[in-house]
């Protein structure tokens, strides 16, 4: 697995929409107005998550004399960048924060998340079975085998992840590796999700604002660490084979 920072750099390099420079003049918006602008694109965004992102130093809204937050157009674009990088690239906030800090310090001229192709959580593009086969280049038999060995669910439509998975399976088939050889992957993934769920339970029980958002971010962090452990173990095993 490539380091998280390289992931972020590749994502930023793909970039159609830049975060404007600070100081752009535009009416300031309340939390409610920000939510009305962003929730159509990010349905899981809540006031508590906005406050959490502020606490994590990813956005710094102005404050009225009464203490109410007021967000500029720049703040909204920064939020859109953060939420897109979380949703579409699963990057932890500390990696996204580095990109924002580089932008603020002038080390990066612009920040631009790549165009959205779909979300694993909500609102993703749905594909028919025929669409999935066409876009992945897989055969109908490979799709059937992936379903049979629990690598994909039996369904009439799929998300973007199914295309990625089938492409990988098609590539593995060239090495004589078939879905039946990978049947343990689903069970392993479910065990990892169970461990993440256990680790997040104390966070979910907390009542303070931002707990839900913090739990979601912590889940991404744990998943990223699992991926690093898995990659390290595989590399180590391959090194032993080559000796």
Domains of the chain (ranges; CATH) run 4-104 (1.10.1660.10), 127-177 (no CATH), 184-242 (no CATH)
Residue found under tokens 């975060």? 19
Residue 169 has pLDDT above 90, yes or no: yes
CA distance 84 to 116: 8
Q: What is the pLDDT of residue 236?
A: 87
**pLDDT tens by residue, 93-128:** 888 888 888 888 888 777 765 544 343 334 456 789
Residue 61 has pLDDT above 90, yes or no: yes
CB 140 within 8 A of CB 133: yes
Q: What is the pLDDT of residue 125?
A: 67
Q: What is the pLDDT of residue 2?
A: 45
User: 179: which 2 tokens?
Assistant: 């879905």
Residue 234: HSE in the Cβ half-sphere, 13 Å Cα cutoff: 7
CB 58 within 8 A of CB 97: yes
Q: What is the pLDDT of residue 170?
A: 92
Binned at pLDDT 50, 70 and 90, residue 231 comes out as confident
Q: What is the pLDDT of residue 3?
A: 47
CA distance 170 to 46: 40
CB 5 within 8 A of CB 99: no
Residue 9 has pLDDT above 70, yes or no: no
CB 121 within 8 A of CB 30: no
What's the rounded mean pLDDT across residues 82-86? Answer: 86
Q: Is the dihedral of CA 237, 239, 242, 243 positive or negative?
A: negative
Residue 19 has pLDDT above 70, yes or no: no
Q: What is the pLDDT of residue 17?
A: 39
Q: At what angle do helices 93-104 and 4-13 cross, to 10 degrees?
A: 50
167: helix, strand or coil: helix
CB 20 within 8 A of CB 73: yes
């Amino acid at each position: 697995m490539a380091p998280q920072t390289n992931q972020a750099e590749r994502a930023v390099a793909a970039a159609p929409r830049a975060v404007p420079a600070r100081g752009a003049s535009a009416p300031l918006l309340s939390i409610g107005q920000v939510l009305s602008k962003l929730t159509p694109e990010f349905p899981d965004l809540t006031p508590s998550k906005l406050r959490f992102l502020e606490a994590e130093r990813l956005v710094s809204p102005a404050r009225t004399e009464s203490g109410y937050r007021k967000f500029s157009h720049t703040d909204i674009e920064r939020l859109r960048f953060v939420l897109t990088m979380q949703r579409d690239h699963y990057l932890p906030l500390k990696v996204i924060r580095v990109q924002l800090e580089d932008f603020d310090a002038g080390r990066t001229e612009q920040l631009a998340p790549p165009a959205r192709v779909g979300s694993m959580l909500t609102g993703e593009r749905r594909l028919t079975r025929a669409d999935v086969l066409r876009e992945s280049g897989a055969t109908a038999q490979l799709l059937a085998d992936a379903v049979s060995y629990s690598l994909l669910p039996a369904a009439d439509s799929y998300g973007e992840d199914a295309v990625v998975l089938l492409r990988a399976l098609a590539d593995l088939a060239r090495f004589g590796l078939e879905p039946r050889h990978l049947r343990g992957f689903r069970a392993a993934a479910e065990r990892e999700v169970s461990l993440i769920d256990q680790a997040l339970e104390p966070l979910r029980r907390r009542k303070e604002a931002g707990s839900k958002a913090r739990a979601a971010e912590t889940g991404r962090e744990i998943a990223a660490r699992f991926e690093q452990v898995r990659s390290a173990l595989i590399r180590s095993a391959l090194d032993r084979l080559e000796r």
